[in-house]
Amino acid sequence: MMRLQKFIAKSGYTSRRKAEILISEGKVKVNGLIITELGTQVDVVNDRVEIGGKRLQLEENFVYVLLNKPTGVVSTVADQFDRPTVLTCIKGINERIYPVGRLDYNTSGLLILTNDGDFTNRVTHPRYHVPKTYLVEAEGTLNVSDLDRLRHGVSIDDYKTQPALVKVVKEGKRGSVVEITIHEGKNRQIRKMFEAINHPVLKLIRLKIGKIKDTDLSLGEWRYLRQDEITYLKEYDNDTNCTSRK
């Protein structure tokens, strides 16, 4: 027996968090009956689980891909405006993979794609604090106060960001280049953080996911994650927030 949301995630259909939303919205059927209760147990061999008329089965052949996403590409498997998606960068994989989190249209850098829903949950859920490191080119020169605000959290939308690791890489005529590490990853969070301190982002690149990086991947190129990288992310569980660094 297995909890329904875990079964959906292990089938490769989507992440566990999104599976819980689908269940709550009444979009999941078990043996022909709509199920809305989270935690419902299913028989992985005999029960028939369906979403949108498609029967789900446990995915045994998990795939983990690291892509250096270019700008001008959306982090989805399909786009209503027919823009290029991250899947257009990846050829030769038969399994149905999807992005682990996302990078916005104008952001480049490292992005993982997989069909392992549990893995996706481990990497994206805030409770595990998997850090993501970015290189930011921002307008103007950041002063001590600006950096302290980023390090201690700034108010954006309806929440205050968690403390971030921030380091100025260089300053020039056009603006400042800053390395910043966060572990939340809300929608357009980095851009909103820098807007909040009045230094809009000119260019944004994701450098690392946890300790995983790859300077040899050109924009648009991808590779399979190594087993040690997969294990590292599956086992990552840091219960402490980022701390300030000068």
| Predicted confidence (pLDDT) per residue in 35-90, tens digit | 999 999 999 888 999 999 988 988 668 899 999 999 999 999 888 899 999 999 99
The contacts of residue 183 (CB under 8 Å, 6+ apart) are: 126, 129, 130, 131, 132, 162, 238, 241, 242
Same fold, 64-126+213-235 and 129-209: yes
Whole-model pTM: value is: 0.76
Verify whether residue 237 is a known catalytic residue: no
Query: Class of 64-126+213-235 per CATH?
Result: alpha beta
Tell me the C-alpha distance between 128 and 120, whole Å.
11
CATH superfamily of 2-55: RNA-binding S4 domain (3.10.290.10)
Which entry of 47, 104, 118, 214 is annotated as an active-site residue? 104
Tell me the C-alpha distance between 154 and 133, whole Å.
17
Query: Class of 129-209 per CATH?
Result: alpha beta
Among 45-54, 187-196, 229-238, the minimum mean pLDDT is found in 229-238
